[in-house]
Amino acid sequence: MNHRFLIPLGVIALAILVAVVLVAPTSAAAQAQKAAATATKAAAPAKPLPRTPDGQPDLQGYWTNNSYTPLERPNDAKKDFYTLEELREVEKRRAAQEDEQTVPGTTADVHYDFTQFGLDRSQTRLTDNLRTSVIVDPPNGKLPPVTSEGQKRAADRAAERRKQGAQYDQVQNIPLGSRCVYQNAGPPMLPPGYNPAYQILQSKDTVIILIEMLHEVRVIPLDSRPHAPQGYRSWLGDSRGHWEGDTLVVETTNFSDKVGFRGASENMKVTERFTRVSDDAIRYEFTVNDPSTWEIPWKGEMPFVKINGPVFEHACHEGNYGVANTLKAVRIEEKKAADEAAKKGTK
Amino acid sequence: MRTRFISSMIVAVGLFLGVATAPAQTPAYRAPRTKDGKPNLNGVWQAVNEANWDIEAHSAAPGPFYQLGAAYSVAPGIGIVEGGPIPYKPEALQKKKQNFANRMTLDPEAKCYLPGVPRAMYMPYPFQIVQSTKQIMLVFEFAGALRTVYMADQTEAPADSWMGWSNGRWEGETLVIDSTGFNDLSWFDRAGNFHSDALHVVERITAIDADHLNYEATIEDPNVFTRPWKISFPLYRRIEKNAQILEYKCVEFSEDLIYGHLRKVPLK
């Protein structure tokens, strides 16, 4: 995955140029861009879209949604879009924060060296998303109010977690991502932090989205079959796709209750829209609908931009020494503490 | 009535022979074509055999956990290896026996590790072939495994991996997949049959009618075997309406096996 920063400079330069043209840097232009974004749904782009032999818009290739753009708008961002200069400032600040985590003594939570393992975001191409949040609706860029049912569910889940004991009492209490079980695969597909590489492959009746993080594979049938029966539940849900003009629309249901995306219930429905807006970019829009959790549906939008392949096999669980080592260390610490206590007791 | 019965018997016997002898035959069947003119092997497929227990011929046997009784007992199978026992080097055969003896703690399948090749092809779960022009993907249920077969822009494996690095080509009706770049960690079955990182697998997949593929693979690994050897079996289309690849993420199911001894309160 470290080969990605070898993207030829010319491509990067071109990409920045395209991004600047695509995502306008002033707020008046931002409005225009919004209008343009709506317009491109209907109007064909200037350059003819690449198509598969079956005549479908060709979304195939390697893509990334790598960005520092948070899901919810930060309180200090008072507008929908940054200027490119402001975005660069934000990126610089966030990169410095990541970097800081690798320097012993600079932060309470010294992590392993992000840069050494290609884990910091600056090592993959950033999407140059000028939006100040992924959420575009509600217009304030924040999640909508949570229903009373949603609040009760969140409290119940927290109580259930507390019953399981402390974080390192057993592997099941360790966060899912560290256990290689699930990390932002979605839908909605949010940047996973590192390994933000995706591949799309199309046949006539199936779209595959390969997610490098934890080698997740989304298999999306296009043949208008019904969803799997409700008894089937899964982390990535049950997806069905269809083409609306040149936009791939994917509806996903049948989530497992374990996903709990931002507090959602298993009845969450996610609708994604993939539109190839240029050779270099896919516009990715999504709507999350779960009336038992949020008072209104909410929407997000972000670009996916081209990167070099391939998507590597991320055999995360197979190489997971971290979980065993962490648990071992905690057991050793516990034993040490117990021995100390026993010594004190006998004195 | 009687005539109909006899003729259906003839058809049944014919079908049986057809499937059983297909590996040796030149395929007479011509598969439908994709838009770009290639044999269309798209679909959800599954092996129907007992090779995941043991790719060699084996008898029914008790399972490793008495608590599961007959539910996890070994189903008998005639095997998928052609022409006699797997040609292990003597020291490798010893390792295979050790693997079997210690399968409770060593079997990569029990730990939800990626199944490797060719094992992914005959695990008792479906997989989907998804054909595009430059690449073909094989998507497996178990552990969310995936193989990308490069039909264009072919390179050598950039790194070793569980599922290997696959380059493919069409030879008439047959999809030929040449795979290298494997690590030495996956097994062929629950019986401890294994390989090294020198594993080289050449698979040939050919449609023999609308709903069956013939699968054969040549397995070469000079570190472990004295000569290349072959496996073969049919793949069956999952013909039920709306057959699809479901999510079989198994990491959670393996965690107490792998980390259970590190719990604060050990498992009983």
- The pLDDT value given to residue A96: 83
What pLDDT does residue A112 have?
Answer: 61
pLDDT at B185 over 70: yes
Q: For chains A and B, what is the number of CB pairs under 8 angstroms?
A: 123
How confident is the model over A69-87, as pLDDT tens digits? 999 999 988 899 999 999 9
The yes-or-no verdict on residue B3 having pLDDT over 50 is no
Nearest Cβ partner for A170 among B161, B251, B264: B264
Residue A187: cis peptide before it, omega within 30 degrees of 0 = yes
Chain B residues whose beta carbon lies within 8 Å of the beta carbon of residue A215: 114, 144-146
pLDDT in tens, A52-65: 999 999 999 999 99
* Average pLDDT value over all residues in chain A: 86
Same-domain check for residues A311 and A340: no
- Specify the pLDDT at position B59: 98
In chain A, residues 300-339 whose CB comes closer than 8 Å to chain B: 310-313, 315, 317-318, 323-324, 327-328, 330-331, 334
For residue B6, being part of any structural domain is answered with no
Which DSSP state fits B45?
E
CA A170 vs. chain centroid, Å, equals 27
Helices within B102-205 (DSSP H only): 103-106, 119-122
Tell me, yes or no, whether A272 and A340 share the same domain.
no
Please write the tens of the pLDDT for every residue from B200-235: 999 999 999 999 999 999 999 999 999 999 999 999
Mutate to test the interface with B, among A168, A173, A206 (most CBs of B within 10 A): A206
Strand boundaries in B2-59, DSSP class E: 43-47
What domain range includes position A197? 2-316
* Nearest-angstrom CA–CA distance, A162 and A169: 11
Over residues B150-175, the pLDDT tens digits come to 999 999 999 999 999 999 999 999 99
Give the pLDDT band (50/70/90) at residue B22.
Answer: very low
User: Residue B172 falls within a domain, yes or no?
Assistant: yes
Its domain, for residue B232, covers: 31-262
Do A248 and A221 form a contact (C-beta atoms < 8 A)?
Answer: no
State the Cα–Cα distance between residues B126 and A215, nearest whole angstrom.
Answer: 18
For chain B, the straight-line distance linking the first and the last C-alpha, in angstroms and rounded, comes to 63
Residue B246 token pair: 């479901």
How close, in Å, is residue A199 to chain B by CA atoms?
11
In a domain, B24, yes or no: no
Count the domains in chain A.
2
Q: Residue A317 and residue B262: Cβ atoms within 8 Å?
A: no
Q: Residue A116's pLDDT is what?
A: 63
- The mean pLDDT of B3-13, rounded to a whole number, is 43
Determine the average pLDDT of the residues in A30-47.
48
Nearest CB to A313: which of B139, B162, B185?
B162
**What are A174-200's pLDDT values in tens digits?**
999 999 999 989 999 999 888 899 999
Contact B246 A53 (CB under 8 A): no
Q: d(Cα A115, Cα A1) in Å, to the nearest integer?
A: 13
Pair of tokens at residue B99: 């693997």
- The answer to whether residues A311 and A337 belong to one domain is no
Interface membership of B158 toward A (CB under 8 Å): yes
How many structural domains compose chain B? 1
**Average pLDDT, integer, range A160-169:** 93
Judge if A247 and A326 occupy the same domain.
no
Whether residue A224 sits in one domain with residue A145: yes
Distance from the Cα of A225 to chain B's closest Cα (Å) equals 7
- Type and span of the H or E element at B256: helix B251-259
* CA proximity to A310, closest of B133, B158, B222, B15: B158
Residue A13: band (very low, low, confident or very high) from pLDDT cuts 50, 70, 90: very low
Query: A108-142 pLDDT, tens per residue?
Result: 555 566 666 666 777 788 999 999 999 999 999 99
B240, pLDDT greater than 80: yes
Q: Give the number of other Cβ atoms within 10 Å of residue B77's Cβ.
A: 19
Considering the domain boundaries, does residue B67 fall inside one?
A: yes
Contact yes or no for A198/A189 (Cβ under 8 A): yes
| B3 in any annotated domain | no
Q: Kindly indicate the confidence band of residue B45, based on its pLDDT and cuts at 50, 70 and 90.
A: very high
Note whether A272 and A309 are same-domain residues: yes
Cα-to-chain-centroid distance, residue A119 = 15
- pLDDT mean over B172-181: 98
Answer yes or no: is pLDDT of A100 > 80.
no
Region B7-17: mean pLDDT is 43
Q: How large is the average pLDDT for residues B69-90?
A: 95
- Residues A134, A82, single domain; the answer is yes
Provide the 10 A C-beta neighbour count for residue B249: 22
User: What part of A 189-208 touches B (C-beta under 8 Å)?
Assistant: 201-206, 208
What pLDDT is recorded for position A193?
Answer: 80
B157–A contact, CB cutoff 8 A = no
Instruction: Report, in angstroms and rounded to the nearest whole number, the Rg of chain B calculated over CA atoms.
Output: 20
CATH code, domain with B218: 2.40.128.20
Nearest by CB to B251, from A60, A202, A317: name it: A317
- Which alpha helices (DSSP H) does A101-244 contain, by range? 148-163
**Does residue A10 or residue B71 have the better pLDDT?**
B71
Chain B closest-CA separation from residue A216 CA (Å) = 6
pLDDT, residue A107, reads 57
Q: Residue B181, Cβ neighbours under 10 Å: how many?
A: 18
Lowest mean pLDDT among A39-43, B86-90, B205-209: A39-43
A185 and A128 in a single domain? The answer is yes
- Note every long-range contact of A96-102, with CB atoms under 8 Å and residues 24 or more positions apart, other chains counting: A98/A122
Query: Are the C-beta atoms of residues A240 and A220 closer than 8 Å to each other?
Result: yes
Which residue in the block uniquely carries the two structure tokens 């096999």?
Answer: A313
Q: What is the pLDDT of residue A124?
A: 83
pLDDT for residue B9: 43
Give A291-318 as a DSSP string: TTTBSS-EEEEEEEEE---PPP---TTT
Percentage of chain A exceeding pLDDT 70: 81
Task: Identify whether residues A233 and A188 lie together within a single domain.
Answer: yes
Tell me, yes or no, whether A333 and A277 share the same domain. Answer: no
Check whether residue A341 and residue A240 sit in a common domain.
no
Higher per-residue pLDDT: A1 or B125: B125
Q: In this structure, are A231 and A329 located in the same domain?
A: no
Residue B187, SS3?
strand
pLDDT of residue B82: 97
A277-316 residue pLDDT tens: 999 999 999 999 999 999 999 999 999 999 999 999 999 9
3-class DSSP state of A122 = helix
Using DSSP bridges, classify how beta strands A216-221 and A135-137 pair: parallel, antiparallel or unpaired: unpaired
What does DSSP assign to residue A144?
P
The pLDDT value recorded for residue B239 is 97
The rounded distance, in Å, linking the Cα atoms of A274 and A195 is 21
* Contact yes or no for B80/B51 (Cβ under 8 A): yes
Lowest mean pLDDT, pick from A164-178, B2-16, B224-238? B2-16
B residues 201..260 contacting A (CB < 8 A): 241-242, 244-247, 249, 251-252, 254-256, 258-259
> CB B246: neighbour CB atoms within 10 A?
14
Residue A4's pLDDT band (boundaries 50, 70, 90)?
very low
Sequence-separated (6 or more) residues with CB below 8 Å from residue B252: A172, A179, A181
On whether the CB atoms of residues B249 and B110 are closer than 8 A, the answer is no
State yes or no: pLDDT of A255 exceeds 90: yes
Other C-beta atoms within 10 Å of A152: how many? 11
| Average pLDDT along chain B | 91
| Amino acid A345: pLDDT | 83
Residue B19 lies in a domain: no
Average pLDDT over residues B18-33: 66
- Binary contact (B244, A315; C-beta < 8 A): no
Residue B10 within any structural domain of the chain: no
Contacts of B146 in chain A (CB under 8 A): 210, 215, 217, 313
- Residue B15 has which token pair? 């079908």
Indicate the pLDDT class of residue B20, thresholds 50, 70 and 90.
very low
